[in-house]
Structure 1
Amino acid sequence: MMAGIETVAVIGAGVMGAAIAAHIANAGTRVLLLDIVPDGATNRNALADGAVARMLKADPAPFMGRKAARLVETGNFEDNLGRLAEADWILEAVIERLDIKQALYAKIDAVRKPGSIVSSNTSTIPLATLVDGMPESFARDFLITHFFNPPRYMRLMELVTGPATRPDAAALVSDYCDRRLGKTVVVAKDTPSFIANRLGVYWLQKSVTEAVARGIPVEAADLLIGKPFGIPKTGVFGLLDLVGLDLMPHVNASLAAALPETDAFHDANRPLPVIETLIAEGYTGRKGRGGFYRLNRVGGAKVKEAVDLSTGAFAPARKPKLEAMSAAGRSPRKLMEHDSTEGRYAAEVMAATLAYAAGLAGEVADSIADIDEAMCLGYAWKEGPFALIDRIGPDWLADRLEAEGQTVPPILALARGRSFYRVENGRLEQLGLDGAYSPVSRPDGVLLLSDIKRATKPILKNGSAALWDIGDGVVCFEFTSKMNAMDDQIMALLGKTLRLVKQDYKALVIHNEGTSFSVGANLGLALFAANIAAWQQIEGLVALGQQTYQDLRNAPFPVVGAPSGMALGGGCEILLHCSAVQAHAETYMGLVEVGVGLIPGWGGCTEMLHRWQSFGKLPKGPMPAPAKVFEILSTATVAKSAAGAKELLFLRPEDGITMNRARLLADAKARALAMVEGYIPPEPRDYVLPGPAGLAAMDMAVQSFRKLGKATAYDEVVSGALAGILSGGDSDPIEVVGEKTLLKLERDRFAGLVRQPGTLARIETMLMTGKPLRN
């Protein structure tokens, strides 16, 4: 049998097949992408070649970098089918037609090497049907690997095996998808649409049919079936626009044909003329003219419009004020109990969806935690259905079902008077179909801060941060402020942490499980201080941040940053000062201060200069590194992946990348422990910078952009301050500039900008709209 998966072949260069191939390349694996030969094509590989070309231009990008694209080799079925013998794993992603798939499997089986694994990305055809009539040797090596779109970003992969599937084949693919592709692999049973789509499609269909029946506007429905239940702000109709309205009839028809007549899906699957009309007129969602929402030009301006579900006419979208939501606050149960049309709509949709989920326990998966995981990762719910029932109350839901004359699902009856989840001796446990609780298991090598927090108390804590013991002499510093924004409390606790680790521990990891690692400094506090002219307070925070980050960099023990999501501004700067970084692959780093009229003031300019002088493949001399850093910082460039962060040197060449977010903390801890023995902090840095001549060159570059309309008047002001730092001020090109001089230049330029009305206008606009002001 194979020792591992080193080469993969993907058959089918459509949207999913090509994107799966791209993500396999992101993992550093060589991949062969094949499709049919188009009629009359001069390029016989046109379909696969075209797919790669489109993905290189796509946004969001399927590739994490152009280096990954070079690992994809294209071909076609007719000329290159024999090359499937090279593949350890052959992944089929062709049209959802059984006859086409089975004809393809026969061709694959004739050329593949013994023991190679074959899988289908199907979401609608059962495994038993796919392998029916195929040789037993093929069935042993066959399974379903159901990825979610887009494959790079969606963390869920549903794995389905059959009675004949080799356990070692399933284990090998599962481990590869987990460690190399970064997926959370959920084992699903061979039932129609598996887990996430079985429940998710029912939820969407129920939401739409009830909105039509009850006269609920799409904007109101998306608010109601959104934030109160921990569902993304796209809600229902926004989500359908995103995935495509034209997919809905096909998916519904497939489920309706596969499910027994007793399944509740059939009651929700009613004809919806408004959707048929929208599709017929080209309103297929964001990929078409629009969908339930569209952007329309009115008087030269773009106006967001929403469809009226009763008439099919569009009108300007509005955010309705709903009494039910105001009365409910953050309580989903209060919303469902509210005596109003909106409250009854939310109750009908979500009670039915949660009851449907409870009825699927044991049918689609053996574990309620797996069902919850599938909905969290497949549909971006903040909580899975069973965790949500716990928040609403199992008894309340069971009583409601009984009052309506409906059957209470067995597992919901078992949860009465109890809960689906509990914490016992610091461990999270889940309720099983046998009525007993069992631990929610984690794969080997997974360490979650949330599990640590259930079992222990923080070593240190304040309103914006906490310190946790994660074992083996390593502690984890966690930001807890809103959006993990940096403030004086974080700096104060980090200072205490550095002193404590020096005395009692071996190493420090900086990590949190928020959506963003850190969005940067707390701009609200900065604006408040500026509005009351508390300049000394602002300058004091800049000095405190600089000193804290310098202390972190110079600590006599390893400090490993472990970011995921956005690491912007001050959140990027703290990582620049760590001994090493172990980043999740989906880390988006950047020093974006110019967007709010400021410059990096906590050592970011200084550190980036050091990196481009030390690691950047640039010509020799004092000007190339400052010019490159000026280009990156003046345009507020953000790396769109950890691989991209390495190209921009926000990450060093030796920094690590973890594909699976759940493994990030464990990897960072291991990295820190490996650095402990013989650790020596870095030496102070010296720089040779271009001085006034370099400043003039950077100013001229900005002026040329201004003439082209690519820079504004205030961009010149901010960029001028940035150039003043990166050029070394008045230093002579033959002089050595110490880092203390550069840090003082950062503080001085920051202090000058924060007093400017143009900067305050940019900060205020960013806080109010989330978008930069181009003043």
Structure 2
Amino acid sequence: MEATLSKPQTQTKNRTIRRVAVLGSGIMGSRIAAHFANIGVEVLLLDIVPSALNAAEEAKKLTLQSPAVRNRIVNDAWQAMLKASPASLYSTKFAERVKLGNFDDNLKDIATYDWVIEAVVERLDIKRSVYERVEQFRKPGTLITTNTSGIPMHLLAEGRSDDFRKHFCGTHFFNPPRYLRLLEIIPGPDTDQTVIGFLMKYGDLYLGKTTVLCKDTPGFIANRLGIQALIQTIRIAEDMGLTVEEVDKLTGPVVGRPKSGTFRLSDVVGLDTTVNVANNLVKMPHDESRDSFQLPGSVQKLMENKWLGDKTGQGFYKKTKDETGKTLILALNLNTFDYQPSQKVKFATLESTKAIDSLKKRFPVLLAGKDKAGEFYRRTFADGFRYATYRIPEVSDELYRIDAAITTGFGWQMGLFETWDAIGVRKGVELIEAQGQKPAQWVYDMLDAGFDSFYKVENGVRKYYDIPAKGYKTIPGTESFIILENLSNNVVWKNAGATLYDLGDGILNLEFHTKMNTFGAEVIEGINKSIAIAEKDFRGLVIGNESTEAFSAGANLAMLFMFAIEQEFDEINLMISQFQQTMMRARYSSIPVVGAPHSLALGGGCELNLHVDRVVAHSETYMGLVEVGVGLIPAGGGTKEMAARASDLYQTGDPELNILQNAFMNIATAKVSTSAQEAREMNYLLPSAQIVLNRSRLIAEAKQVAVELAENGYVQPKQRNDIKVQGKTGIALFKAGVAAMRMGRYISDHDVKIADKLAYVICGGDLSSPQTVTEQYLLDLEREAFLSLTGEKKTLERIQSLLSGGKPLRN
């Protein structure tokens, strides 16, 4: 069985997971099934049998006994999942790992499965009826878990056998399961502790999740805190007269949250989902703030109108077209309930933080704002801080679990207690008191005892304040993580764009911290300096960072654009040459260099990972050579390397031009992988690359690979002189294909010019027949082609468009 894991077995002590059955193929069930397929597990996905034929089935004269009818619900759900964007599978090939069926014909098959996950509709009676049927076929000892978002475990487990109850608990995934990292584990009253331990470890190691142990309380942790924050934000916005667009701007990336903000997020999730959770939580008898779950007026009116968001075509926003066919985004006016063209948002407080890259440093400025934005932040954060303090020990005994759940479940960069630390605990208390409220008593007790932060770092280890112990404890499960932010005392060297850390065991880590981690002079210096230091005093180097946006979005185009406008071609030539030499330095150093890409690894970020000795990639790595989008070709060794990798794939009798054409088309169309697995299929990642599902483990895994390479007797490689290129034959084929695309008006004249130069380089130039060449020969061709394209007016227009608006120009 093919595995995408860095450790390709899915076994923890005394239990192995080879086969998983998912009951219920709705949005969550089908996507949970897909994610298990991603990690190499065989999956059985089941749903109910239809009670009546549809029109298409009647036309085909099918009956309720026809297999196509009996599996219609599960088949339709699975096809909808396959077509949905973003994709739930790392590769479409992995769909083969999922078998579809129905409860009536196939539920008996769960007897051979290791784990049964129930994901049917959120109704206690329906879930209980499913469990009753499951008990007829489930073998003793099999895990049985529910994906409920709020129904208590003790109610679900009522009436079940002892063995069922012992192996039953909640495993609450967040949608979409592939992308959101939270997995809440909720024990029932009789759940065996070994089952909980297994699931906590399995979710972390194999599913790539942050597993958070929750108590069996309403909404568990993430929904309890997250929905409260969302409802209160809407209520405060109404009270302050803020617009939908203003709130989404204030609650987006500026505070380290998704760009969807508050209202757009509600539209995406579906207002009915939020309302259902809120209506359940407002009934809680023991929550001092349960009234905060009462629906604000705008939400009630949207529900009455059935304007639920994307699923109904309108909610807080509505997408429409003008008379020219151009798409318009309209925003709801919360006072008149009319839709109006979405407006740009400006606040003085936001303007004052534009130059502050550090999120931690941004919060004190935001909360001190003198305008409406500042008031909004003071009211919402004060309420969020206060509410979180009272949830301990109700939903969790430890404050770090609350932060872990809210960050990984809702995509926040910092949790509530982490944010509170950023402004200072005492200032946070003053903020709450200024709103006429008070936090829970334990916060005052903590401050009185001389503890003035919820978290602290000691010897590179992050610790949290433990309330019963009245002191700090290490966050369990993080001992094996390497978190660069915690290694401020281990800095070996740094400049304005990069920092070199000592990870221990003779291994260094180079971290970029330019905007989007782009490659400029400081980063190039950092790579060369790091390799030199490692060669002298260490035994290996990892290149990785903890950015949430990008491993690296490629070259810093601003400097290139300036030189090109001034026609400083000698400077451009020198810049390209230095970049190529740096990539080759990463390839041909005397110590192993390991890349640890994640999220965006584009252009130069991709090229660096093409040249290192080994890659340890996060499963969500979006890799590609995208230079064509700005009118250029890859010239940091990217074109050379893809020619070399194609050459390495050639076998006697192979259609070599077909193999090379795949590489050519990936570059010519600026294709970016949608996962690390797809990057492997595109040959950007070699078979030797490891794919890690848990982002928190990425640098630690990369360090281990560097250690292993060093201890296994790493030998400095020699530059290649055996790259087979196709010469004129390949150029002619590729040019013909490009000409056909131009005739079909798929590409512009300038695209043709770029593609022709790419064909010339990747085929090794104007050679009369296929032959072998050196790496340096191809690098020189790259540099010449790149240099000539920087003199093209249309290339400069593309670069300028990207620098000014962030959108590619197809001129």
| Same topology, TM > 0.5 | yes
- Residue 502 of structure 2 is aligned to residue 469 of structure 1: yes
- State which of 705, 721, 725 in structure 2 corresponds to 1:689: 725
- The Cα shift of 1:543 comes to 0.4
Give the letter for the 1:139 counterpart. Answer: R
Q: How does 1:127-142 map to 2 (within 5 A)?
A: 127-142=153-168
Q: Secondary structure at the match of 1:246?
A: helix
Unaligned 5+ runs, structure 2: 1-12, 54-63, 357-361
- The Cα shift of 1:165 comes to 0.9
> What is the CA–CA distance in structure 2 between the aligned matches of 1:450 and 1:11, rounded to whole Å?
41
Rate the CA distance shift 1:764–1:617 in 2: closer, same or farther, 3 A.
farther
- State which of 415, 432, 437 in structure 2 corresponds to 1:406: 437
- Residue 317 of structure 2 is aligned to residue 286 of structure 1: no
- State which of 290, 303, 315 in structure 1 corresponds to 2:340: 315
Aligned counterpart, 2:792: 756
> What is the CA–CA distance in structure 2 between the aligned matches of 1:494 and 1:653, rounded to whole Å?
25
Unaligned 5+ runs, structure 1: none
User: Per-residue displacement from partner, 1:99-142 (whole Å, max 9, x unpaired)?
Assistant: 11111112112211111111000111011111122222211111
- Residue 704 of structure 2 is aligned to residue 678 of structure 1: no
- The Cα shift of 1:184 comes to 0.8
> What is the CA–CA distance in structure 2 between the aligned matches of 1:491 and 1:229, rounded to whole Å?
31
Aligned counterpart, 2:319: 295
Q: Secondary structure at the match of 2:639?
A: helix
Aligned counterpart, 2:527: 494
Give the letter for the 1:90 counterpart. Answer: V
Rate the CA distance shift 1:76–1:308 in 2: closer, same or farther, 3 A.
same
> What is the CA–CA distance in structure 1 between the aligned matches of 2:312 and 2:455, rounded to whole Å?
43
Aligned counterpart, 2:578: 544
Rate the CA distance shift 1:88–1:350 in 2: closer, same or farther, 3 A.
same
Q: Secondary structure at the match of 2:16?
A: coil
* TM-score where L is the length of structure 2: 0.91
Deviates more, 1:438-447 or 1:163-172: 438-447
Q: How does 1:340-355 map to 2 (within 5 A)?
A: 340-355=371-386
User: Per-residue displacement from partner, 1:35-89 (whole Å, max 9, x unpaired)?
Assistant: 1111235321222222222222221001100222111111111111111111111
Identity within the alignment, %: 38
Q: 1:427–1:439: 8 Å Cα contact kept in structure 2?
A: no
- State which of 30, 38, 63 in structure 2 corresponds to 1:18: 30
Rate the CA distance shift 1:396–1:476 in 2: closer, same or farther, 3 A.
closer
Q: Secondary structure at the match of 2:310?
A: coil
Q: Secondary structure at the match of 1:459?
A: strand
RMSD of equivalent CA atoms: 2.1
Q: How does 1:326-475 map to 2 (within 5 A)?
A: 326=351, 331-416=362-447, 418-434=452-468, 436-443=470-477, 446-450=480-484, 452-454=486-488, 456-475=489-508
Q: Secondary structure at the match of 1:483?
A: helix
- Residue 755 of structure 2 is aligned to residue 730 of structure 1: no
- The Cα shift of 1:337 comes to 4.5
> What is the CA–CA distance in structure 1 between the aligned matches of 2:231 and 2:797, rounded to whole Å?
45
- State which of 42, 45, 63 in structure 2 corresponds to 1:33: 45
Give the letter for the 2:153 counterpart. Answer: L
- Residue 722 of structure 2 is aligned to residue 710 of structure 1: no
Rate the CA distance shift 1:101–1:773 in 2: closer, same or farther, 3 A.
same
- The Cα shift of 1:232 comes to 2.6
Total equivalences in the alignment: 772
Aligned counterpart, 1:217: 243
- The Cα shift of 1:569 comes to 0.4
Rate the CA distance shift 1:19–1:618 in 2: closer, same or farther, 3 A.
farther
- The Cα shift of 1:333 comes to 4.3
> What is the CA–CA distance in structure 1 between the aligned matches of 2:617 and 2:650, rounded to whole Å?
20
- State which of 773, 779, 788 in structure 2 corresponds to 1:743: 779
Rate the CA distance shift 1:629–1:143 in 2: closer, same or farther, 3 A.
same
Q: 1:229–1:388: 8 Å Cα contact kept in structure 2?
A: no
- The Cα shift of 1:323 comes to 3.3
Q: 2:544–2:551: 8 Å Cα contact kept in structure 1?
A: yes
- State which of 509, 522, 541 in structure 2 corresponds to 1:508: 541
Q: Secondary structure at the match of 1:623?
A: helix
Rate the CA distance shift 1:340–1:653 in 2: closer, same or farther, 3 A.
closer
Q: How does 1:119-268 map to 2 (within 5 A)?
A: 119-257=145-283, 259-260=284-285, 262-268=287-293
Deviates more, 1:502-511 or 1:63-72: 502-511
Give the letter for the 1:699 counterpart. Answer: K
Rate the CA distance shift 1:249–1:723 in 2: closer, same or farther, 3 A.
same
- The Cα shift of 1:621 comes to 5.6
> What is the CA–CA distance in structure 2 between the aligned matches of 1:612 and 1:427, rounded to whole Å?
44
- State which of 610, 613, 616 in structure 1 corresponds to 2:644: 610
Q: Secondary structure at the match of 1:70?
A: helix
Q: How does 1:60-99 map to 2 (within 5 A)?
A: 60-99=86-125
Q: 1:414–1:435: 8 Å Cα contact kept in structure 2?
A: no
Give the letter for the 2:157 counterpart. Answer: V
Q: Secondary structure at the match of 2:311?
A: coil
Q: 1:394–1:415: 8 Å Cα contact kept in structure 2?
A: no
Rate the CA distance shift 1:615–1:690 in 2: closer, same or farther, 3 A.
closer
Q: 2:725–2:764: 8 Å Cα contact kept in structure 1?
A: yes
Deviates more, 1:461-470 or 1:489-498: 489-498
Q: 2:663–2:682: 8 Å Cα contact kept in structure 1?
A: no
Q: Secondary structure at the match of 1:304?
A: strand
Rate the CA distance shift 1:440–1:530 in 2: closer, same or farther, 3 A.
farther
- Residue 557 of structure 2 is aligned to residue 523 of structure 1: yes
Rate the CA distance shift 1:607–1:401 in 2: closer, same or farther, 3 A.
closer
Q: 2:22–2:45: 8 Å Cα contact kept in structure 1?
A: yes
Aligned counterpart, 1:653: 687
Deviates more, 1:12-21 or 1:132-141: 132-141
Aligned counterpart, 1:562: 596
> What is the CA–CA distance in structure 2 between the aligned matches of 1:517 and 1:374, rounded to whole Å?
24
Rate the CA distance shift 1:581–1:338 in 2: closer, same or farther, 3 A.
closer
Q: Secondary structure at the match of 1:123?
A: coil
- The Cα shift of 1:281 comes to 4.6
- State which of 656, 667, 680 in structure 2 corresponds to 1:633: 667
Q: 1:52–1:69: 8 Å Cα contact kept in structure 2?
A: no
> What is the CA–CA distance in structure 2 between the aligned matches of 1:526 and 1:288, rounded to whole Å?
46
Deviates more, 1:746-755 or 1:48-57: 48-57
> What is the CA–CA distance in structure 2 between the aligned matches of 1:228 and 1:655, rounded to whole Å?
35
> What is the CA–CA distance in structure 1 between the aligned matches of 2:804 and 2:306, rounded to whole Å?
35
Q: 2:484–2:545: 8 Å Cα contact kept in structure 1?
A: no
> What is the CA–CA distance in structure 2 between the aligned matches of 1:485 and 1:267, rounded to whole Å?
44
Give the letter for the 1:409 counterpart. Answer: A
User: Per-residue displacement from partner, 1:559-596 (whole Å, max 9, x unpaired)?
Assistant: 21111111110000010001111111111110000001
Give the letter for the 1:679 counterpart. Answer: Y
Rate the CA distance shift 1:678–1:230 in 2: closer, same or farther, 3 A.
closer
Deviates more, 1:353-362 or 1:640-649: 353-362
Q: 1:445–1:663: 8 Å Cα contact kept in structure 2?
A: no
Give the letter for the 2:316 counterpart. Answer: F
> What is the CA–CA distance in structure 1 between the aligned matches of 2:263 and 2:132, rounded to whole Å?
41
Rate the CA distance shift 1:184–1:214 in 2: closer, same or farther, 3 A.
same
User: Per-residue displacement from partner, 1:493-515 (whole Å, max 9, x unpaired)?
Assistant: 22222222222222221111112
> What is the CA–CA distance in structure 2 between the aligned matches of 1:64 and 1:267, rounded to whole Å?
40
